[in-house]
């Protein structure tokens, strides 16, 4: 019997007013319904905001070390359930098991990291101009934070928004993506068992057009953090800022890896394959453009095609690369493959749906490589969000940087080179919020800032590390004339 999961509002597990539910299917076998979730509406979302607003003062006045203790205990509970959470993530999102386990571990690490930060939150003491005055600053919570998160990292992204928000003393309403909401509800379960007071966290499942819009527009919400597509994110940002709210958006990417003439083609192909085909290409930091010097291009393409064709595709529990999350995502990727061929790109690997009993029913796509790609083609300009890499040939390093920067996104970028001067030039000139040398575009440390340039971000506040706390705090300056 399929389990029906409830919303978490004001410390209780409750059904939606609509009485309707959402079925989440296993993307490796859509005939299997993994779980049912509440198909909530604006009224459900408003109830969640009311609960968060009512709990705000008490939570803000809770000492930082006590808030940290709850976060630490929640992280410990998540660690105890790591296998269970990994199973759930694989079943709902389709990610290969090692990737899913790594994502769950990241959520655990995030909670433990911010548990220590909660005790360190404070201000600075300054010297006053006159005698008899203490002059200092205080960091205080913004208030009620609305978090809207995507399906591709369904536990890590909620964790890296939620943990700093709670550590700083904010209350939270969270809307996880409807395609894979289960692990986000497990965060609420762990925090509830760890002793989080009622109303401090509220999780409501349902469509963004109703639940998300109410979160953003509700007068009691003070800050909105959104991760998702550029088109939706820009609307979210406009709606939130028009209402005078603090807003943070992290959006798409069209991430390049520049392969210099000094690079080892086999090493470069391994870096690009890992960045482009890992997580089935469903990462905002995935490498979708390999910008390759003409001297190493042929050998690089041969190596990359070999890696693409050798990847073991199938259900995530047993195979190296899992399915795309939905039929819609798979069809979108296949459409981009067709567009690339029609525009004149040359298909050298993949390009279709794999064959075999294990992949017959799921949303699988072959790892795909194109060459003869012009920088102006759609495959080189638009985010595909699938396991597709476009190889663009350039004649020198300057052209490589120009092509890398020649898109409207600027999230992550890497260079593969043995030339230290080229590496430094790339770090200085690449228009991206994350730049790497001799590494894949994917993979982030949790204690340093993350965010993009240009259309990849609102370019307001960064996420993760100390920077992640900045969005959720506001500074007060105190003049204490004693």
| Closest listed residue to residue 414, CA positions, set 476, 423, 406, 210 | 423
CA 68 distance to own-chain centroid: 24
Beta bridge mates, 172: 145, 201
- β pairing state of 201-203 and 171-175: parallel
User: Catalytic one among 107, 167, 168, 284?
Assistant: 284
Q: 390: part of which helix (H) or strand (E)?
A: strand 388-394
| Beta strand spans in 194-286 (E) | 201-203, 223-227, 246-250, 255-259
Reduced to 3 states (helix: H, G, I; strand: E, B; else coil), residue 225 is strand
Distance CA 410, CA 189 (A): 36
Give Cα separations from 264 to 146, 260, 303, 369 (angstroms): 46, 9, 11, 19
Number of C-alpha atoms within 13 angstroms, CB side, residue 256? 29
Q: 197: part of which helix (H) or strand (E)?
A: none
Distance CA 248, CA 244 (A): 13
Under a CB-based contact definition with an 8 Å cutoff, are residues 65 and 34 in contact?
no
Q: With the C-alpha atoms ordered 54, 57, 61, 65, is the resulting torsion angle positive or negative?
A: positive
| 287 in catalytic set | no
Query: If you ran DSSP here, which 8-state letter would residue 208 be given?
Result: I
> Own/partner pairs for 295-299, CB < 8 Å, 24+ apart?
295/261, 296/259, 296/261, 296/263, 296/265, 296/268, 297/371, 297/391, 297/393, 299/265, 299/266
Distance CA 113, CA 167 (A): 10
Under a CB-based contact definition with an 8 Å cutoff, are residues 269 and 437 in contact?
no
Give Cα separations from 377 to 142, 209, 234, 355, 372 (angstroms): 43, 32, 24, 29, 10
**Catalytic residue positions, numbered:** 284
């Amino acid at each position: 019997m399929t389990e029906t999961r409830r919303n978490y509002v004001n410390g209780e597990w409750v059904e939606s007013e609509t009485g309707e539910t959402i079925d989440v299917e296993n993307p490796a076998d859509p005939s299997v319904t993994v779980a049912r979730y509440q198909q909530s509406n604006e009224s459900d979302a408003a109830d969640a905001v009311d609960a968060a607003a009512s709990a705000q003062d008490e939570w803000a006045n809770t000492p930082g070390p006590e808030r940290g203790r709850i976060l630490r205990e929640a992280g410990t509970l998540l660690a105890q359930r790591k296998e269970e959470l990994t199973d759930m993530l694989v079943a709902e999102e389709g990610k290969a098991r090692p990737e899913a386990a790594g994502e769950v571990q990241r959520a655990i690490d995030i909670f433990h990291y911010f548990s220590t930060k909660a005790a360190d939150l404070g201000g600075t003491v300054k010297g006053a101009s006159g005698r008899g005055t203490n002059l200092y600053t205080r960091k205080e919570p913004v208030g009620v934070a609305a978090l809207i998160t995507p399906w591709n990292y369904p536990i890590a992204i909620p964790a890296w928004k939620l943990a700093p928000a709670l550590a700083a003393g904010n209350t939270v309403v969270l809307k996880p993506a409807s395609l894979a909401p289960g692990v986000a509800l497990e965060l609420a379960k762990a925090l509830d068992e760890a002793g989080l007071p009622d109303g401090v966290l509220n999780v409501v499942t349902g469509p963004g057009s109703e639940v998300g819009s109410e979160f953003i527009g509700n007068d009691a919400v003070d800050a909105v953090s959104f991760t998702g597509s550029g088109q939706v994110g820009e609307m979210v940002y406009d709606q939130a800022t028009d209402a005078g709210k603090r807003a943070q958006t992290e959006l798409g990417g069209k991430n390049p890896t520049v392969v210099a003439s000094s690079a080892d083609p086999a090493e470069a192909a391994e870096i690009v394959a890992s960045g482009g085909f890992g997580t089935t290409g469903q990462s905002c930091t995935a490498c979708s453009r390999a910008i390759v010097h003409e001297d190493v291009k042929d050998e690089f393409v041969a190596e990359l095609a070999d890696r693409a064709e050798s990847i073991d595709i199938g259900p995530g529990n047993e195979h190296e690369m899992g399915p795309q999350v939905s039929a819609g995502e798979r069809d979108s990727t296949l459409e981009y493959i067709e567009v690339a061929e029609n525009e004149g790109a040359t298909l050298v690997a993949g390009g279709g749906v794999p064959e075999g009993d294990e992949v017959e029913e799921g949303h699988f796509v072959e790892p795909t490589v194109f060459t003869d790609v012009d920088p102006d083609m759609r495959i080189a300009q638009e985010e595909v969000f699938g396991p597709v890499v476009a190889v663009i040939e350039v004649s020198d390093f300057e052209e490589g940087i120009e092509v890398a920067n020649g898109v409207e996104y600027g999230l992550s970028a890497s260079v593969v080179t043995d030339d230290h001067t080229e590496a430094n030039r790339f770090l200085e000139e690449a228009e991206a919020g994350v730049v790497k040398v001799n590494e894949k575009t994917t993979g982030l440390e949790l204690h340093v800032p993350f965010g993009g340039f240009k259309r990849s971000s609102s370019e307001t506040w960064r996420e993760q590390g100390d920077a992640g706390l900045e969005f959720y705090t506001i500074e007060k300056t105190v003049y204490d004339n004693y």
